């Protein structure tokens, strides 16, 4: 294996770690919603209008386990739950921006021409 191949193998490994966290229809949208500040369950649900409570609950749990999202219970009446990004979650800002930039670029280059 030459050096170029080794670099390629290393990149493939690192990308898999990131993909495991990113993968799925809802994780990135949830994280994007939370980059605009702390939000409650219902607020995220309203931002991402077509997510079901089941999926939102499930994906928030997964993100919490991966230490991307922090869940805070407030002992108010009625009990409210707040979700926010952890420092690790906030470290995704650059990644999210690149996804957005490329998404816009892709839409301009391909989608508008074809459809």
Binding region for a copy of itself (CB under 8 A): 4-5, 7-9, 11-12, 14-19, 21-23, 25, 28-29, 32-33, 36, 47-48, 66-67, 88, 91-92, 94-107, 109-111
| Residue 28 binding: pick among a copy of itself, DNA, none (C-beta 5-8 Å cut-off by kind) | a copy of itself
- Sheet (strand 69-74) strand order: 39-40, 80-85, 69-74
Decide whether 78 or 107 has the Cβ nearer to a copy of itself.
107
- And the tokens for 96? 């999210």
**Locus of tokens 């999926």:** 55
Decide whether 19 or 79 has the Cβ nearer to a copy of itself.
19
Decide whether 70 or 96 has the Cβ nearer to DNA.
70
What single-letter DSSP state applies at residue 108? I
Alpha carbon distance 105, 37 (integer Å): 26
Cβ–Cβ under 8 Å, residues 53 and 45: yes
Q: Which residues bind DNA (CB under 7 A)?
A: 24-26, 40-43, 50-55, 57, 61, 71, 77-81
């Amino acid at each position: 294996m030459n050096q170029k191949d080794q670099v390629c193998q290393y990149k493939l490994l690192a990308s898999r770690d990131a993909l495991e966290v990113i993968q799925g229809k809802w994780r990135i949208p949830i994280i994007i919603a939370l980059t605009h500040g702390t939000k409650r369950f219902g607020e995220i649900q309203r931002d991402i209008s077509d997510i079901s409570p089941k999926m939102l609950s499930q994906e928030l749990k997964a993100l919490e386990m991966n230490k991307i999202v922090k869940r805070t219970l407030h002992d108010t009446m009625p009990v409210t739950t707040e979700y926010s990004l952890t420092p690790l979650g906030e470290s995704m800002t650059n990644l999210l921006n690149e996804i957005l930039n490329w998404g816009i670029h892709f839409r301009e280059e391909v989608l508008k021409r074809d459809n």
